[in-house]
């Protein structure tokens, strides 16, 4: 009899401890997970950036036959880019829209010389309307290690590069390395509107290679001549000419 009473008392004690300590924990957990599930934001749209290399005087609007007969043949071109931002000068109720950081980290763009678009970056973005893109072609900073070791061959500033171009000039092999930081600002042909239900959006940027190693008068600039360095860097800086919405990624504006 006493043993039966002891076991009943023990069972009641265990049940009481469970209801006081364990049960409230399950209630709190239910409330926490319930609030979290109902407060989840919908998936943001994604934005891709593609780059197309063109090598045609007709594309750039220049009717200069010297471009077609250039002694330069490009076999590879790589560019280090960072700080890509979408901007807007459009105003809503007199207040300018904020900029949108698309991709802050540096990344290497290897141009497809056949002229087909090459997707180089993809990111989730917030909704908004933008009409301009800004980015920087840059050489690595002191504390930066680029993903492609060709852009940094040593520790000094003279051993870090923003653009690397390989090819031939008058049949002789060359490698041109630019050390310039080139800030770029390109207006979109039409404002880019991104809504929560936009789905994937692609922007294609065109780089006109017919600009490279040719001065404004159509004279060739030998890449192995150090005196041409500033002029060649200017041709590269000018070659980022156009950007537009291109969801099917065919290199043509939608």
Q: What is the pLDDT of residue 218?
A: 82
CB–CB of 148/177 below 8 Å? Answer: no
Percent of the chain with pLDDT over 90: 36
d(CA 169, CA 73): 7
Residue 249, sorted as left (phi over 0), alpha (psi -120 to 50) or beta, turns out to be left
d(CA 84, CA 99): 10
The yes-or-no verdict on residue 107 having pLDDT over 70 is: yes
116 pLDDT band, cuts 50/70/90, is confident
d(CA 145, CA 148): 8
Looking at every residue in the chain, the average pLDDT score rounds to 77
pLDDT tens digits, 208-229: 988 899 888 888 999 999 999 9
Side-by-side strand order, sheet with 240-245: 118-124, 46-54, 201-208, 240-245
d(CA 164, CA 76): 8
Q: What is the pLDDT of residue 13?
A: 52
Q: What is the pLDDT of residue 29?
A: 30
- List the beta bridge partners of residue 80: 108
User: Helix, strand, or coil here: 70?
Assistant: coil
129 pLDDT band, cuts 50/70/90, is confident
Mean pLDDT score, 193-205: 86
Domains of the chain, by residue range, sit at: 1-40, 46-245
From 72-76, 121-125, 221-225, the region with the lowest mean pLDDT: 121-125
Containing 166, the helix (H) or strand (E) segment is strand 163-169
pLDDT tens digits, 134-187: 999 999 998 888 999 999 999 888 899 999 999 999 999 999 999 999 999 999
d(CA 109, CA 57): 23
d(CA 68, CA 51): 22
69 pLDDT band, cuts 50/70/90, is low
d(CA 124, CA 53): 25
Percent of the chain with pLDDT over 70: 72
Mean pLDDT score, 179-196: 90
Compute CA 234 distance to the chain's CA centroid, rounded to the nearest angstrom. 22
23 pLDDT band, cuts 50/70/90, is very low
d(CA 76, CA 114): 11
Do the bridges between strand 240-245 and strand 107-110 make them parallel or antiparallel, or are there none, so unpaired? unpaired
The yes-or-no verdict on residue 66 having pLDDT over 60 is: no
């Amino acid at each position: 009899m006493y043993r039966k009473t002891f076991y009943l008392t023990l069972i009641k004690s265990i049940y009481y401890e469970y209801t006081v300590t364990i049960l409230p924990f399950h209630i709190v957990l239910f409330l926490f997970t319930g609030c979290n599930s109902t407060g989840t934001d919908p998936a943001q749209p994604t934005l891709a950036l593609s780059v197309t290399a063109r090598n045609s005087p007709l594309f750039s609007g220049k009717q200069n036959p010297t471009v077609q007969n250039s002694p330069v043949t490009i076999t590879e071109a790589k560019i280090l880019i960072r700080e890509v931002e979408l901007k807007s000068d459009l105003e809503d109720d007199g207040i300018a829209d904020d900029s949108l950081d698309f991709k802050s980290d540096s990344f290497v763009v290897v141009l497809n010389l056949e002229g087909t678009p090459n997707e180089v970056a993809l990111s989730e973005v917030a909704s908004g309307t933008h009409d301009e893109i800004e980015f920087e072609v840059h050489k690595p900073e002191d504390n930066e290690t680029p993903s492609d070791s060709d852009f940094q061959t040593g520790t000094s500033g003279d051993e870090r590069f923003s653009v690397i171009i390989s090819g031939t000039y008058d049949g002789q092999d060359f490698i041109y390395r630019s050390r310039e930081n080139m800030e770029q600002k390109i207006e979109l042909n039409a404002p880019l509107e991104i809504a929560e239900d936009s789905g994937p959006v692609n922007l294609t940027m065109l780089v006109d290679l017919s600009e490279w190693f040719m001065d404004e008068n159509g004279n060739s600039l030998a890449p192995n001549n150090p005196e041409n360095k500033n002029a060649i860097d200017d041709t590269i800086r000018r070659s980022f000419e156009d950007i537009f919405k291109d969801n099917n990624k065919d290199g043509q504006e939608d």
